[in-house]
Amino acid sequence: MTTSTSSTGTAPSATGVGTDALGAAEAQAVIAGARQRIDDLDARIIALVQDRMAVSAEVQAARIATGGPRLALSRELEILARYRAALGAQGTEVAMQLLELCRGRA
C-alpha cells in the first residue's frame, strides 16, 4: 500500500488520515503544556532531594555525636527495598543514587 499526500497538502498519518494545521497546533500545545508540567515536577523533585540531603546530614551528625557510625546499612537496605517495590528494578538504581547524594562527604 502506498500513501500519497492528500488534496489538502497535508501528509498522511500512520493511519492514512491527513493531519491538518489545527491538529498540529493542538499537538504542539499539548506538548508545551506537558513539558511545563515536567519542568515544574523536576523543580519540586530537586527541592525535595535537597531537603532530604539536609535531613540526612542531621541524622548522620546525631549518629556520629553519639558514637555511632555515619551510615546505617540496615536502613539503606530498607530504603532500597521501598524504592524497588514502588518503581521496580530501576527503583533500586534511583535509590542508590539518592542515597549516594545524601551520604555527604565522609
Phi, psi of 23 (to 5 degrees): -60, -45
Q: Give the single-character DSSP code of 70.
A: S
Question: What burial class does residue 85 get, using C-beta atoms within 10 Å of its C-beta: 0-12 exposed, 13-18 middle, 19+ buried?
Answer: exposed
Res 33: pLDDT: 97
pTM above 0.85, yes or no: no
Tell whether the model's pLDDT for residue 18 goes beyond 60.
no
pLDDT at 8: 47
The answer on pLDDT for 17 being more than 60 is: no
What are the CA-CA distances from residue 103 to residues 9, 19, 38, 77, 95 (Å)? 59, 52, 27, 14, 12
pLDDT value at position 12?
52
Q: Which residues of 19-31 are buried (b: 16+ CB within 10 A; e: fewer)?
A: beeeeeeeeeeee
Residue pLDDT, tens place only, 35-74 = 999 999 999 999 999 999 999 999 999 999 999 998 999 9
What is the structure's pLDDT at 105?
66
